[in-house]
Structure 1
């Protein structure tokens, strides 16, 4: 049982990509507070692909947002590539994210008036970095869009738009790529292609991917699954399959209830 202990999935021994220490996130005023995360600690190594699953309201999205610097924990510490996400101004936090973190969301968040190439190189411009069009083209070729550089998002399918979003996340060479239901808006074939790209980013290029999903088939593409319930880590599974993940999710509610009874809650 993991409880609040660190979860360490299989991965490259080349260092620690992400670490959370006792992260707690509470919303609402005193007397009417909601605990979204309740002392979560975990450690993920470089070159790992981790899926995060749990029932609605379990804290999945809050975990991702705190880990990625999109939300500030009420308590606890977050480290990305050994550097702590803490204090400082919003501008400093934004700069940190642009340097070390990539994002892939369910909605592709592409700018409709920019071409594929312009969308992919936008994070470099925002970060004040030199735009290397050659590298951007190489990344787009990796995701199968080398012949669509001048197309607008409206000229692409949903699966192609998500591949542009993945290329945009990878072009800055981030330490961690966070995915929030990245296949949720895609058909089965497109979803499979997107998950294969994320696997390639991990296994071939050594990226670290953390993906929130509700889909056991998507989770089965990861190296490991973290299960959340009531804002806490309640399970960890290596080498997941769609069947074992679906079974675990089915019994998760019963398991959480047993834990509450044992704890006298």
Structure 2
């Protein structure tokens, strides 16, 4: 297991955005023991530049969700190196990892993870409060307006559609001004129109606001909004596609099992 937590600068000084948003070096993650062991990631090495939008795809059980969790510091690999925005997440205490995630990472999940008792505005600024950061309510209103929810500030989640809830989740991720946004099946519970709106917002986060988005998805249409797609099979990298189209992605997925993983 890894035992250190390193940053790209001394002390708490923020050195600014790193050229690489995400770097994994020979990352391995195994669950279970002995004969019941399952290797979810098998020596994965991957580098993603800052200000890019990458989709991660593969069959069920290919390791894509484990890759996202290890990359985001939500799970710890058994071996290898994970760097996010120039910071090496090699071990360290959970408190350090939590502080790092709250400061530089945003999350968007399939199930929204909104608190039913809080309003849209309160849900949006919750990460700032949890991190002990100053809450700029004007900035929060601007972010909510940018995702089309400027007239829903006082609503609660049960008063919103699924697409609107996911837009709150995106606003919540953006309001902390993270360097990297990790999205896990963000359109999985949405209808086609809402899914398109969510994907346009994520792409805007990259192209307009300079964020880096890493998204796990099973949907070739959602993947086509990304700059590139990274494919996984049996816990190993199985290729990469730039400027993806839905048809090309679907074709590649259909034949993943035919090829020996070649890496990226």
Pairwise mapping of residues 2-41 of structure 1 onto structure 2 (< 5 A)? 15-41=19-45
Report what 2:120 is aligned to: 116
Pairwise mapping of residues 1-265 of structure 1 onto structure 2 (< 5 A)? 15-256=19-260
TM-score of the pair, normalised by structure 2: 0.91
Give SS of 1:227's match.
strand
Give SS of 2:35's match.
coil
Structure 1: 4+ residue segments shifted above 2 A: none
Give SS of 1:31's match.
helix
Q: How far did 1:14 drift?
A: 7.3
Give SS of 1:163's match.
helix
Residue segments in structure 1 that go unaligned for 5+ positions in a row: 1-12, 261-265
Does structure 1 retain, via aligned residues, the 8 Å contact 2:18–2:85?
no
Does structure 1 retain, via aligned residues, the 8 Å contact 2:76–2:91?
no
Give SS of 1:179's match.
strand
Q: How far did 1:39 drift?
A: 0.6
> Deviations for 1:61-98, whole angstroms, at most 9, x for unmatched residues?
00000000010000001111101112221111111111
State the alpha-carbon separation in 2 of the partners of residues 56 and 29 from structure 1: 21
Residue segments in structure 2 that go unaligned for 5+ positions in a row: 1-16
> Deviations for 1:205-250, whole angstroms, at most 9, x for unmatched residues?
1000000000000000000000000101011000000000000011
State the alpha-carbon separation in 2 of the partners of residues 88 and 250 from structure 1: 40
Q: How far did 1:31 drift?
A: 3.3
State the alpha-carbon separation in 1 of the partners of residues 186 and 227 from structure 2: 17
Q: How far did 1:255 drift?
A: 1.6
> How large is the RMSD of aligned CA atoms in angstroms?
1.4
Does structure 1 retain, via aligned residues, the 8 Å contact 2:228–2:244?
yes
TM-score of the pair, normalised by structure 1: 0.91
Give SS of 2:36's match.
coil
